[in-house]
Amino acid sequence: MMTEINRQIVLASRPVGEPKSTDFEMIESVVRGPSAGEVLCRSIYLSLDPYMRGRMSAAKSYAKPIEINDVMEGGVVGEVLSSNFPGIQVGDFVLGAGGWQEYFTLPGASLRIVDPGRSPISTALGVLGMPGLTAYAGLLKIGKPESGETVVVAAASGAVGSAVGQIAKINEARAVGIAGSPEKCRFVVDELGFDDCINHRDPDFKEHLQNACPDGIDIYFENVGGPVFRAVLPLLNQFARIPVCGVISHYNDTALPEGPDLTPLILRSALVKRLTIRGFLVFDFVDEEPEALEHLTQWVLDGRLKYHEDFVSGLEGAPEAFIGLLKGKNFGKLVVEVSPSDKV
């Protein structure tokens, strides 16, 4: 058995507000070989996702926080180096909760085999992975778009939002994206085929959004919260649905914002317009995963569901890339190439 060194990024301190590079630390340990039922893998692609900000905080949430000095959590596609699990062979590619490190050892039962012949293996972290499933479940199981309805989604060039708008189009709805730059908006319309896309940093954002939704909004797929939600609220139609997927503009907040109490406005809108506002986590739809994956894969193969990946080279680049994700610096699904594979 080798005595390879495993470079790992651990949580050094809990961020207050925006994470800083000093909240992370690179350490080295010895690679641990697999025990019975376990598999040892070399990390190829590490997924960076907004939920990781929540795990860095001690605040109570739906999942336990990462402890100080523990390896940062994250989904990884790796190549199997050694396996004590029947059904997983050396050389297979697998998806698992590998974390921010160059090697990981996990129970084989927790891993999903990734077929490199079907789609590039990195897509198991994006359009054919957790973000794609999130878009599929949130839009189709909660939003339930009907032909001709207007679907609005922010972070529209990102992993979840890009799929939401395209799945809306597949379901014959009108898709309006919201994104953080003219370049992102152009991509969302020209490459992804949304009907329109509005820049939320533009001073006339509210007016532009209203013009882009002449028949109001039937589904607002909530990814960001904050000023975007406030611009959407008056445009919602009766019986509009709001799958609440994420509120990334608030993840670095340390306190409630100053200003008027918006509770009456929001609740009165919910009452008068008979809104459905439903939060969800992708895990809530685990039973739908096979169906979703089948549809998503088919759409990707048919060219109806496009995806864009933003690759960062080397594990050491992960902290800065993650800090940038919370400010909109990524363009598409953010993936760290931890080590290249010569097989794919």
**Residues in touch with ligand NDP (CB under 6 A):** 49-51, 130-131, 134, 154-155, 157-161, 179-180, 184, 200, 223-224, 226, 228, 245-246, 248-249, 280-282, 325-328, 330, 333-334
CB of 147 to ligand NDP, least distance (A): 26
Q: For the chain, how big is the Rg over CA atoms in Å?
A: 21
Nearest to 70 by CA among 97, 95, 43: 97
Phi, psi (degrees; rounded to nearest 5) at 187: -60, -45
If the CB atoms of residues 39 and 334 are measured against ligand NDP, the closer one turns out to be 334
Asked if 333 and 309 count as a contact pair (C-beta separation under 8 A), the reply is: yes
CB of 217 to ligand NDP, least distance (A): 17
**Sign of the dihedral defined by the CA atoms of residues 234, 239, 240, 242, in that order:** positive
If the CB atoms of residues 200 and 208 are measured against ligand NDP, the closer one turns out to be 200
Half-sphere exposure for 285 (CA within 13 Å, toward CB): 24
Tokens 């496009």 found at: 306
CB of 343 to ligand NDP, least distance (A): 27
- How far apart, in whole angstroms, are the C-alpha atoms of residue 270 and residue 212? 22
If the CB atoms of residues 101 and 134 are measured against ligand NDP, the closer one turns out to be 134
If the CB atoms of residues 105 and 157 are measured against ligand NDP, the closer one turns out to be 157
Query: Identity (one letter) of the amino acid at 66?
Result: I
Asked if 83 and 89 count as a contact pair (C-beta separation under 8 A), the reply is: yes
- How far apart, in whole angstroms, are the C-alpha atoms of residue 183 and residue 176? 16
Helix or strand or coil: residue 140?
helix
If the CB atoms of residues 42 and 206 are measured against ligand NDP, the closer one turns out to be 206
CB of 34 to ligand NDP, least distance (A): 29
Q: What is the signed CA dihedral for 159, 164, 166, 172, rounded to 10 degrees?
A: 180
Q: Which residue is nearest to ligand NDP (CB)?
A: 158
CB of 279 to ligand NDP, least distance (A): 7
CB of 342 to ligand NDP, least distance (A): 28
